[in-house]
């Protein structure tokens, strides 16, 4: 219920700029309303001041409404900035003790608000920041030459209450601004991480089959070697693939590769292994098991290949299967398993040679 109400009032947290903008507008609305009520109850200010505060409160609520429900966020943000800098700050200065009142606090808030709300629009940001910096100068000069124009507090206690209340509002305002900046940073950081992960996957995945590629094989081999666990790898090569391409075309050849990769992917999931496409019709199956167990897995893979439903009949593969030795480098192992693979080719294909 609370989350629904917050979403209704402020919008989605996925858009932190608008979310914070609406929160600020509602806080300012409540602050004006609160100030008018306190002034009325305590008689700390005249009716003109109370009416002005009510008018500012209603205007702010109207700005929030147009921004939140009429998709006029940018225009209302500009309107709000102009209202605060050209109307609210000067009025607050004249009616709330001038330099002895809380206007300087509010001016800092306005400056920070402009910096955050118009972060992507430098023209409005620089204009608003300049105005927020320059506005106090003529106000101070007016107070210096015409102190009688400044409405003073009836007593010091009222002044301290006003300053304390403004300090609380200012603190809440600052927290909102910081939350906005933090949320933006986290969203951007999350997007960067997602993009980085997508790029990493793209760099380690074969675009046609979706299997891991040679780069991923090399890094996985190194990582697995460091664990010093049992590791058996099969080098798999489709039989007569060039003939398939020449006879049936590359489109059909791609279909064969995709279906073959599906079988490799499924066997890898069943056995907790990793499947890689390391070349045109060349694959690697990295299995965390003994040589005997790995050989059983490869025999199952042979059976699954024989059952593949392809337009021009099933395809077969030859493979070399070997367990990685503890002191064996990646290059040494690849040469050894390639030798086994070619032995399988020379023995008539559709078989596995083990060492």
In a domain, 206, yes or no: no
Report the pLDDT value the prediction gives residue 283, as an integer from 0 to 100.
94
CB distance 210 to 265 below 8 Å: yes
Last residue of a domain, one of 138, 171, 197: 197
Tell me which residues are annotated as active site. 281
pLDDT in tens, 218-247: 888 888 877 778 889 999 999 999 998 888
Number of domains in the chain: 2
Same domain, 49 and 12: yes
Question: For residues 316 and 302, what is the distance between their CA atoms, to the nearest angstrom?
Answer: 7
In a domain, 205, yes or no: no
Report the pLDDT value the prediction gives residue 303, as an integer from 0 to 100.
92
Report the pLDDT value the prediction gives residue 185, as an integer from 0 to 100.
66
Report the pLDDT value the prediction gives residue 222, as an integer from 0 to 100.
85
Residue 229 φ then ψ, to 5°? -90, 165
Report the pLDDT value the prediction gives residue 184, as an integer from 0 to 100.
66
Q: Extract the residue ranges of the chain whose pLDDT is less than 70.
A: 44-45, 180-181, 183-189, 192-193, 195-203
Same domain, 268 and 144: no
Same domain, 181 and 259: no
pLDDT in tens, 23-46: 888 888 888 888 788 778 777 667
In a domain, 268, yes or no: yes
Report the pLDDT value the prediction gives residue 201, as an integer from 0 to 100.
62
Report the pLDDT value the prediction gives residue 216, as an integer from 0 to 100.
87
Question: For residues 38 and 41, what is the distance between their CA atoms, to the nearest angstrom?
Answer: 5
CB distance 112 to 174 below 8 Å: yes
Give Cα separations from 253 to 16, 36, 247 (angstroms).
50, 79, 9
Question: For residues 99 and 111, what is the distance between their CA atoms, to the nearest angstrom?
Answer: 17
């Amino acid at each position: 219920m609370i989350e629904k109400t917050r979403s209704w009032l402020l919008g989605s947290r996925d858009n932190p700029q608008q979310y914070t903008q609406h929160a600020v507008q509602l806080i300012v609305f409540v602050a004006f309303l609160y100030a008018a009520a306190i002034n009325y109850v305590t008689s700390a200010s005249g009716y003109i001041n109370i009416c002005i505060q009510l008018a500012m409160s209603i205007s702010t609520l109207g700005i929030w409404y147009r921004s939140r429900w009429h998709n006029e966020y940018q225009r209302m943000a500009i309107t709000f900035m102009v209202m605060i800098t050209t109307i609210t700050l000067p009025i607050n200065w004249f009616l709330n003790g001038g330099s002895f009142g809380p206007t300087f606090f509010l001016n800092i808030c306005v400056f920070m608000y402009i910096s955050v709300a118009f972060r992507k629009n430098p023209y409005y940001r620089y204009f608003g920041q300049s105005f927020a910096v320059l506005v106090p100068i003529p106000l101070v000069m007016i107070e210096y030459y015409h102190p009688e124009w400044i409405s003073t507090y009836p007593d010091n206690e009222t002044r301290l209450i006003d300053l304390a209340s403004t300090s609380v509002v200012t603190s809440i305002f600052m927290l909102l601004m910081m939350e906005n900046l933090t949320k933006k940073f986290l969203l951007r950081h999350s997007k960067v991480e997602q993009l980085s992960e997508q790029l990493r996957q793209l760099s380690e995945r074969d675009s046609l089959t979706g299997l891991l590629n040679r780069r991923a094989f090399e890094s996985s081999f190194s990582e697995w070697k460091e664990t010093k666990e049992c590791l058996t790898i099969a080098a798999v090569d489709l039989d007569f693939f060039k003939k398939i391409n020449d006879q049936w075309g590359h489109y059909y050849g791609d279909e064969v590769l995709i279906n073959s990769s599906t079988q490799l992917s499924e066997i890898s999931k069943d056995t907790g292994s990793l499947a890689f496409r390391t070349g045109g019709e060349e694959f690697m199956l990295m299995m965390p098991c003994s040589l005997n167990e790995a050989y059983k897995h490869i025999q199952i893979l042979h059976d699954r290949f024989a059952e593949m439903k392809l337009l021009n009949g099933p395809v077969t593969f030859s493979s070399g299967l070997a367990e990685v030795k503890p002191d064996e480098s990646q290059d040494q192992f690849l040469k050894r398993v390639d030798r086994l693979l070619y032995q399988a080719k020379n023995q008539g294909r559709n078989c596995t040679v083990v060492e």
